[in-house]
Every structure is written in C-alpha cells, then in structure tokens.
Amino acid sequence: MRKIGFVIPWYGENIPGGAEMELREVATHLQQAGMEVEILTTCVKEFTADWNENYYAAGTAVVDDIVVRRFPVRRRDVAAFDRVNRKLMQGQHISLQEEQTFVEEMVNSPQLYEYLADASEEYSLYVFIPYMFGTTYYGMQVCPEKSVLIPCFHDEAYVYLRLFRQAYVQARGMIYNAMPEMELAGRVYDFSSTEQICMGIGMNTDIHPDAEAFRQAYHIEKPFLLYAGRKDTGKNVHTLLRYFAEYKRRQESDLQLVLIGGGQIEIPASVQEDVYDLGFVTTQEKYNAMAAAELLCQPSHNESFSLVIMESWLCGRPVLVHSKCAVTRDFAKRSNGGLYFRDYFEFEGCVQYILSHPEQAAQMGANGGQFVRDNFDWSVIVEKYKAFFEKLTEE
C-alpha cells in the first residue's frame, strides 16, 4: 500500500481533544504498525486562532516522527462567513448561495488542493477529518475515488447543508466514531454506494489508577461525583451544578462534586463548600480521581465519542450520561456500564441507585471496562483500519 494522506484544517502537537487529537493518535498508531502516513494541513495554528493567519511556515516538517506538509490559507471574508454561520447556529434556513459563501469563506487552501491533485499517484487514499471545513469539502472533490471521510457528525445545522450532501456521497469510504453517528448519516445522506464502517476511537487500555493516592493528595474523604472536561455551557456543566445543588437541598447527604479540566464556571452559593474545582490535573491524577469517584457524570448533549466515559470504565467506575446525547446513551446501553438521565428527578434517582448499590455499581464499571478493551484497544482499532483501507484499495 502506498502512503495514506490525512487531511485536516490544522495540526499541532499540543492541540487537546476533538478531531485533532483523534487524528494525531490514529496517524501515530498506524505508522507504528508499519503503515506510511502523512499529515496534509494548512499553516493555521488551531481552531481558536485567526483563520487568516499563517502561523506555521509553509513546507514540510517532521512532527513526532510523522511528515507534516503545511500549505498557506487563502484570505477569507470573515464578515460574510459570520453572517451565514450566525443564521445556521440560530437554526434559520439559508439559501444555496449562502451555503456557497459558508464553504468559500471558511478555512481554505488552494495550494493544498493543487498538491492533492498533483501528488495523487503517491497516495493510496486521502482521509479527511472533520466534515464541516473547506479543506474537507473542496479537498474531497479533487480525488473522490480515493477520498475517505471521518466526519465526526453531530445532529446540527451544518450536517444538512445541500452542498455537503452532494459532495460527500461521492466518497470512497466513511469512518464513524459511534453507531448513532452512522445512523444519522444514513438518515441525511445517500451512502448506498459508499463503503462504511463504525470504527470508534482507539484507547490506551493499560492504565493503573490509584484511588487512595487521589484522596490523600487532595484531602477528599467523602464520596463524590466527578466531572472531567471543559467547564463551559456547551458541555452542559451548568446543568450538572444546578442538579447537584438541588440534590444537596433535597437529600441529607455528604456527597461532594469534583470538577477537573480547563475553563471556569460559576458554582452555586449553596454548594460552594461541597464542590472542588481542581482545574487541570495530570493524566495519572485524572485516572486516580476516576477510580476514587462514585461515578463519572458526562452531562453533554453533543458528543461524537467521549473518551472520559471510556476512561472511567477502565478505572472501574460507572458513568451517568444525558439522555439527549445519542452517542453516550448508546454506549451506556451497549456496555451496560452506566445510567442516563433526562431531567432532575431521573438524575437524582440514578445517583441514589449507584450510591445505594455498590456491588451493582462496581459491576457496571467492570462491564464498561471490558467493553472498551474489546472494542477500542489500539490493537483492535489498528487492525480495523488496516483491513478497511485494504478493502478500499483492493490490496
């Protein structure tokens, strides 16, 4: 098999989470398994940076032993893009011309697209991630017969754009992170002539948590719920805090809440003594916290995978997720590793059940851990990628 070219709008060593981290891990493990991979990207630093700024120098570099080719971005009309994007975010209908503005005025690199065309014989496949950026929309149209998409679809306005529906059905292959994402794609797109696979995301399953080390380090002796991730409204953490405050008001309980991860959020005055906001911690400390917790709560409505619930299972603890998130709810049901809630009273009932049934809680954690090892250990994921790529290239 010739090279596999992974195409992404930006790429760096220190971009945490999301599609960037997924690609970095996939590329690294495939290369370690003997496959030749390259990253094809722009000179933009990251998602939160100025998409008009070429932060990195154009050209070829080696990042963590992987070849990275960077191409300059075309200057964009930010105001025009923002007008259309605002309408999409507000759920308003947009015209086909506005869709064209959206794809033209987001991150684009004509020099990248020229390279994809000129160097196509050097690559067996081009793999694009994620779906909503110009580098994916225009890049996939260069060589659709050798294009594979890892879309990271959510049920959001962008998924329904007519331009995307016309372009992406030409793909040679589709790779999904979870079954609900694959089911969403089947409802919106006609992929009847496209090879598809529900791959999932690879995990390091060889972790060794130490619950007592966490309790000693942070002097937290009482039982606690854990939230791990960004503390912003997009992750629905405010709902968890509100529900926790209501739980403490209604129940005579010494239960506490521990938050780890970046960002800031206001903690209700009534529970300020019961909430520990630890900010960033090391990876090992995160595992230790998971093992020490009664459960991990992931309240987000919009996840394409959720590494933290997998990590909690590997640490032996059950999870509590929001019913509105099809992906995390599906994982909880498939693994029998956790519960899910839609409103406060379901939240309260789930927490009460886990606290009062320690043996069943431990079994849920064990079920989840086995589910992760069986489906998402890197040895499993690498073999699935290799087999899928061989099928697409008929090699």
Assign residue 266 the CATH number of its domain: 3.40.50.2000
Question: CA torsion sign, 224 to 230 to 231 to 233?
Answer: negative
What pLDDT is recorded for position 363? 98
Residue 109 and residue 12 in one domain: yes
In this structure, the answer to whether residues 115 and 160 fall within a common structural domain is yes
The rounded distance, in Å, linking the Cα atoms of 68 and 55 is 14
Q: What is the 3-state secondary structure (H, E, C) of 58-107?
A: CEEEEECCEEEEEECCCCCCHHHHHHHHHHHHCCCCCCHHHHHHHHHCCC
Average pLDDT over residues 384-394: 95
Q: Is the pLDDT reported for residue 395 higher than 90? A: no
Q: Tally the domains of the chain.
A: 2
Contact 151, 176 (CB under 8 A): yes
Q: Give the range of the structural domain holding residue 248, as residue numbers without chain letter.
A: 211-375
Distance CA 20, CA 263 (A): 19
Residues 157 and 29 in one domain: yes
Token pair in block for residue 223? 């039982």
Domain match, 350 and 249 both: yes
Residues 111 and 177 in one domain: yes
Is residue 16's pLDDT more than 70?
no
Residues 6+ apart with CB under 8 A from 39: 5, 6, 8, 11, 23, 27, 63, 66, 67, 68, 69
Average pLDDT over residues 58-62: 96
Does residue 330 sit in the same domain as residue 217?
Answer: yes
Q: Does residue 127 register a pLDDT over 80? A: yes
Chain Cα centroid distance, residue 137: 20
Average pLDDT over residues 267-271: 94
Which pLDDT score is estimated for 161?
A: 97
What is the mean pLDDT of the segment spanning 61-80?
95
pLDDT band at 1 (very low <50, low <70, confident <90, very high): confident
| 163 lies in the same domain as 262 | no
What mean pLDDT comes out for the span 329-335? 97
> Do 278 and 138 reside in the same domain of the chain?
no
Q: Do 80 and 57 have their domain in common? A: yes
The alpha carbon of residue 196 and the mean position of all alpha carbons in its chain are separated, in whole angstroms, by 19
Confidence at residue 166, expressed as pLDDT on a 0 to 100 scale: 96
Q: How far is CA 230 from the centre of its chain?
A: 12
Max avg pLDDT among 57-66, 152-161, 365-374: 365-374
43 plus 162 within the same structural domain: yes
User: Tell me, what's the pLDDT at 208?
Assistant: 97
333: tokens are 């049901």
> What are the start-end ranges of the H helices in the chain?
18-32, 78-89, 96-104, 110-118, 134-140, 162-168, 179-188, 211-218, 237-250, 283-292, 307-314, 326-335, 344-356, 358-376, 378-393
Which whole number is the average pLDDT over 220-246? 95
Share of the chain above pLDDT 90, in %: 91
What's the per-residue H, E or C state across 316-342? CCCEEEECCCHHHHHHHHHHCCEEEEC
Is residue 52 located within the same domain as residue 189? yes
Q: How many angstroms separate the CA atoms of 257 and 223, rounded?
A: 9
Contact 59, 52 (CB under 8 A): no
* Mean pLDDT in residue range 117-142: 97
**333-369 confidence digits (pLDDT tens):** 999 999 999 999 999 999 999 999 999 999 999 999 9
pLDDT for position 283: 94
- Is the pLDDT at 72 greater than 80? The verdict is yes
Q: Which of 112, 103, 52 is nearest to 76 (CA)?
A: 52
Here the contacts of 350-356 (C-beta below 8 Å, separation 24 or greater) are 350/320, 351/225, 351/247, 351/255, 351/295, 351/320, 352/251, 354/294, 354/295, 354/318, 354/320, 355/223, 355/253, 355/255, 355/294
Helix (H, G, I), strand (E, B) or coil at 124: strand
101 shares its domain with 117: yes
- pLDDT over 80 (residue 13): no
Q: What is the pLDDT of residue 17?
A: 65
What is this structure's pTM? 0.88
Place of tokens 């997720």: 321
